[in-house]
Amino acid sequence: MYYNNYSKSEKNYLNKGLIIKETENKKSLFYINKIIKQKLIKILKINIKIKNFNLNKLHNYINEKNINQIRLSLIESVNKDKNFKKEFLKVAQKMLSNIVGNELAMQNNINLSIQIPNDESSLLPIHSDTWSGDSPFETVLWLPMVNCYKTKSMFILDAKKMNKFNKIFKNKKIKTISDLYKKFKKDLNFIKINYGNYLLFNQNIPHGNLINTTNETRISLNCRFKGLFTPYSQKELGSFFSPLKLRAATKIGLEYKMPGEKKNK
């Protein structure tokens, strides 16, 4: 029997390709924010108190040349924190369970974006993660550390335009990624989301970012989740994903031996 009595959130996700909600656990959000600031202060070797550190003004401490190195150091450093992944999950755990399932695989390392004003080096042109080796069964949890709007945020295609997009993609006049962007520019919407909320989105829908022309820096985290037993693409279980929780029935199944068979030592 197949049930398709979807919840309101599921319908939203299916129709719009995204959900924006208030984080489910404020303590977890504050923990994440504190760790990011703490690690950044250490990496940048700056003398500032956490409570006075405004991430919107991060561009006062970094530039286009060292931004990627700082970003990579920060990713490495936050992922080493033993509670970081657990707290990250808690900001949207119930929704993830609703949309993806309760037996999940989670990306091994939580990713982090830094978009300082007018930086050309950190751009992600229009793409769908599925075109670059991700499984279509994945969902992205995107968590901003600052208020995001206009070019400080990311854009995503209006989900209703997916059919049009798929038809036009192979048009011979579209030769470059810039052509693709120009063709769909009017159907791309910048996501307005404030600190304190999370975004869960369908990464099969084309999305990306432009040069941040606001005068504030964006810091956001992103992490992919999928059903543990759904198909993997190039981002495999082990090298890219790890099981988050095994349900009791799965654990029994994994350990089951037919009568007379020896258990693996």
Partner 1 sequence: MIFKGYISSRKLLDGSINHQKVQNLVIRDACHKRKYEYKLSLTEYGVKNCFLAFNQILLEIEKDKFDGIAFYSLTQLPEKKADREKLYKIIIKKKKKILFSLENKLVSNISEIRKLENLLKIKYLLKFTPKKIKY
Q: Give residues in contact with partner 1 (CB under 8 A).
A: 68, 121-122, 125, 127, 130-133, 169, 174-180, 234, 239
Q: How many CA atoms lie within 13 A of 71 on its CB side?
A: 21
CA distances from 145 to 159, 162, 192 (A): 25, 29, 13
* Phi, then psi, of 201 in degrees rounded to 5: -135, 155
Residue closer to partner 1 by CB (options 78, 126) is: 126
Residue closer to partner 1 by CB (options 98, 138) is: 138
Residue closer to partner 1 by CB (options 122, 189) is: 122
**Integer Cα distance of 164 and 123 in angstroms:** 25
DSSP secondary structure, 114-181, as one string: EE-TT-STT---SB-GGGGT--TT-EEEEEESS-B-GGGS-EEE-GGGHHHHHHHTT-TT--SHHHHH
Q: How far is the CB of 218 from partner 1 (least distance, A)?
A: 17
* Phi, then psi, of 47 in degrees rounded to 5: -105, 90
Q: How far is the CB of 168 from partner 1 (least distance, A)?
A: 12
**Beta-strand (E) ranges in the chain?**
18-22, 104-107, 111-115, 139-144, 155-157, 188-190, 197-202, 207-208, 218-227, 241-243
Q: How far is the CB of 176 from partner 1 (least distance, A)?
A: 4
Residue closer to partner 1 by CB (options 51, 175) is: 175
Residue closer to partner 1 by CB (options 22, 64) is: 64
Q: How far is the CB of 119 from partner 1 (least distance, A)?
A: 11
Residue closer to partner 1 by CB (options 30, 131) is: 131
Q: How far is the CB of 175 from partner 1 (least distance, A)?
A: 5
Q: How far is the CB of 238 from partner 1 (least distance, A)?
A: 11
